[in-house]
Chains A and B, each alone.
Chain A
Amino acid sequence: MNDNREFIEEFLVESGENLDQLDRDLIALEERPDDPQRLASIFRTVHTIKGNSGFFGFSKLGALTHSGEHLLGRLRDGKLRLNDRVTGTLYSMVDAVRSIIQAIEETGVEGEQDFRELSQTLAAVALEDVGEPTAAPAPAVMPVAPPPTEMPVIPSPAVPVAVIPPPMTGVAAVAAVPAAPSPPAAPPGKPAAQATDSSIRVDVGLLASILDLVGELVLARNELRSIESTDPTLEGVIHRINTVTNSLQEAAVKTRMQPIEHVFNKFPRTVRDVAVACGREVQLVIDGADTELDRTLIESIRDPLTHLVRNAVDHGIEPPAMREAAGKPRTGRLLLRAFHESGQVTIEVQDDGAGIPVEAVRAKAVARGLIDAAAAAVLPDERVLQFIFEPGFSTAAQVTSVSGRGVGMDVVKTNIEGIGGTVDLSSRPGLGTTVRVRVPLTLAIIPALVVRCATERFALPQAAVGELVSLRADGGPRIEGLAGADVIRVRGRLVPVVFLDEFLGLRPTTAARENGTVVLVRVDDHEFGIVVDGTQTGGPSGDPSTPRATHAVTSMEAASLSTIVVKPIGSLLAQMGIYSGATVLGDGGVVLILDLRGILRAKDLPPQPRRGDEAVATAICVTDSYLVCRTIAGRRIAVPVDTVVRLEKFDGQELQAVGGKRLVRRGDLFTPVVDADMLLGTQAAQEDTGSVSLVVLDGRCGGIGIAVRQILDVAAADSMLQPSIAAPGVAGTFAIGGIATELLDLAALVPTAGSHS
């Protein structure tokens, strides 16, 4: 037997592939029971496994596949018609073959399991249906039109059917994959012959070491390029080596890529099984199965996606009767779509089911104490849905009658975020739910921005970088706010910033406040700025072949964008959570890659929702980030950050009184000023001449400036808003930084401000 080891391994690998093919073919056959080519393909596959098992002396496997082949032969000859019982038995056979193959793989022998009963069932099923009158013309020659969707259920004789799932009305069907060449179009004679001829199996470790070596070669190439020479022959050689190295690197990277098909392939069977078990009718549509991503990522997304797919069938799509009652087609539609989008792979799992009952989620969130009832009542639906990602949010029987829709969604989110991806979910009642998973193409080679800070250099994943802003002391962009609440204003938004030198302890106080560069990054819901000394310029390190150097960030020098090879830094340093790896630049220097999510966690920056055109009232509810100020009279108030246009400091004497209104002038611009204390109904000292800060609100709030004594912080609220009772100008009270803070009622302010303008 040992002599055969190599052949047996080949047989096992091949059989695994054959079994996957069988799953796909059977599902397709269920949809079109009279497809002779599909039936022939199934027959051939089973026959191959049978032949091989005979050759290696696997008798159980031989006996089982023999019975299966017999059953398939009757189907092929039109002696038997496909029904739920037949397909159920065939699926059982595939599963049994799979378990034997697995046993052989693990132990070298077929194992103790007894499949004789299943063989008998296969034989018994094969003998059914002989009396069917329409069986005379073989369906292979004359397909029945229209294809019957509901096969007549034949009363089964008294044969033990323990292994067969009970006949279900559920039919899982797979529509043709539009992007991939559809198997039925292939000539029936040669199944997948070309594929086997043009590909070989290569050890993954070997591919990894090739990639490492190519990385070394790239470094050597970069050094070579930096040699100054006037010798035309040498120049020519360097140029050729340069070109070849680029192509080689590209090709080496491609060897890591696999089509997402490798994950999607399993889903027709998953959907079919879950649909049958839950009594659903589901049509699975797969789009973009040829989308490629790194094979290590393929493994990482397999489980989360499987979970999402199962969830969609189990909890998303309603039972057929309920769908009909709701005026929808009986058969639910599950769309699985993958595509490349701005350097990432997006995978959508979309069902046309009942959607997630938002009110139930809202109630659950309150019941679990995640949010208080008053705040929950005003939270927009899309935000309520995010509670589904809370750990253990729904374990069973809470959201729907079957079980919680949110089962394990926190695990999905954790897994996807673990590989640098994101998950978001949207749902419309009665219309269905879409879960969108975004993952990077690869974790191994990424475009990155290299920045300088003090004496060090750091790399930032370019996918997160939005833009660069150069700070200028002379009236250009600058850091505003006071210590502890540094922000930069970007097109009307206030974005919190982190001084990298301070954060990393490279300098006791930052040296970049006046003339550094702010790298604006976006991580999940957060946008923040990282203040660095500058981006790296010149030198041989910039990789001119960077594919996306030109369009991504227009304001930065292309030289500072590099394609870097991400290398692990060892568990000791990875645990710190602020570096995701390191890389070696063209000049041979080692550079740490910043983990932006880690910086976000360490600094605990508040989320910044994307700016929309919501009414002021919604802005108050939606925002998570508040500007905290002290009024002149000493009250602690908060203003939603996304209503703030800018912060100014001015002297009390700069105020000009015009027609009973107070204005402050900045160039040609007059801003109406309202004292925060006046809004709150407290009396402020009118003759105050000390320095005053002005919080200028945007047009939705009348563009007015609110005068306060001091800007304290930009932070998220720690507690829910307690609506205020009869306190003028105050929308409510909550805790920020552990201290009770009043939220300014901007909605009440707007009419007041309007009268000013």
Chain B
Amino acid sequence: MIPSTMPGQPHDTRYCCFVVGSDCFAVASIGVAEVLRDGKITRVPHAPEAVIGLIHLRGRIVPVIDMRRRLGLPAAPPSISGTHLVLGLLDDWYSLLVDEMLEVIEVADHDIEQPSRAAPESAHDAVTGVYADAGRLVHFLDPQRIVQSLARQREPFLNRQGASHGGI
């Protein structure tokens, strides 16, 4: 079992950095289960828009969250094939489909600042902090919040289909 990410741990924490669009993000590396170059995606009809499908990873079925869609960015150009950043959250695994993986950085807690307005607005609810690293801003994401926000967004599927016939 991969423990879920625990923001706010003392001392240095290792973070995996990645790029989506023109911004740099990071998640705590302790929650990262695997990084995959590719995987055949099975689509899930009626799933929340950002969930583009499922991949099979070592016996597990992993929903794939397209971070571009999640952040409201246009689809990636063909030159970007995307990378699966597979995270373990409680009992479930999720894959964040990102443009490109960057290096792992070590950051002390006290160096992380309050979330900045520089983060894309669509990411504000999931950003827990920001860190200036070699001339660029790294926005720290809480994967749990990303998933939760999708759960809230999901289409009111049952209400949409047909009128209700009460019956007894």
Residues of A whose CB lies within 8 Å of any CB of B are 212-213, 215-216, 370-371, 375, 456, 503-506, 567-573, 575-579, 581-582, 584, 588-592, 601-604, 606-607, 624, 715-720, 736-738
Contacts and interface: CB of A to CB of B under 8 A. Distances in A.
A404 to B, nearest CB: 20
Contacts of B91: 568
A6 B61 CA distance: 37
Given A370-B168, A576-B157, 8 more contacts: A567-B59, A569-B54, A572-B151, A572-B154, A578-B46, A582-B42, A715-B165, A717-B168
A572 B91 CA distance: 12
A602 B158 contact: yes
B164 to A, nearest CB: 6
Give the most central of A588, A590, A737: most B CB within 10 Å: A590
Given A603-B162, A715-B165, A716-B165, A577 B157 contact: yes
A589 B162 CA distance: 32
Nearest to B48: A572
A572 B150 contact: yes
A601 B158 contact: yes
B56 A579 contact: no
A602 B157 contact: yes
Given A576-B157, A584-B56, A590-B55, A718 B44 contact: no
Contact of B46 (A213, A504, A737): A504
Contacts of A719: 166
Contact of B44 (A371, A589, A592, A737): A592
A572 B92 contact: yes
Give the most central of B42, B44, B161: most A CB within 10 Å: B44
Contacts of B37: none
B42 A590 contact: yes
Give the most central of A370, A504, A602, A719: most B CB within 10 Å: A602
Contacts of A371: 168
Contacts of A590: 40, 42, 54-56, 61
Contacts of A567: 59-61
Interface string B51-66: 1001110111111000
B43 interface: yes
Contacts of B15: none
A603 B160 CA distance: 10
Give the most central of A213, A576, A719: most B CB within 10 Å: A576
Contact of A738 (B51, B61, B163): B163
Contacts, number: 115
Contacts of A591: 42
B165 A216 contact: no
A572 B161 contact: no
Interface of B: 40, 42-48, 51, 54-56, 58-63, 91-94, 147, 150-151, 154, 157-158, 161-168
B161 A603 contact: yes
A606 B167 contact: yes
Given A575-B154, A606-B167, A588 B56 contact: yes
Given A570-B93, A582-B61, A592 B42 contact: yes
B59 A572 contact: no
Nearest to A505: B45
Contacts of B60: 567
Give the most central of B92, B94, B165: most A CB within 10 Å: B165
B93 to A, nearest CB: 7
18 contacts: A456-B45, A503-B161, A504-B46, A568-B61, A569-B63, A570-B94, A572-B94, A573-B44, A576-B47, A576-B157, A584-B59, A589-B40, A602-B162, A604-B165, A607-B167, A715-B165, A718-B167, A720-B168
Nearest to A456: B43
B163 A737 contact: yes
A212 B43 CA distance: 23
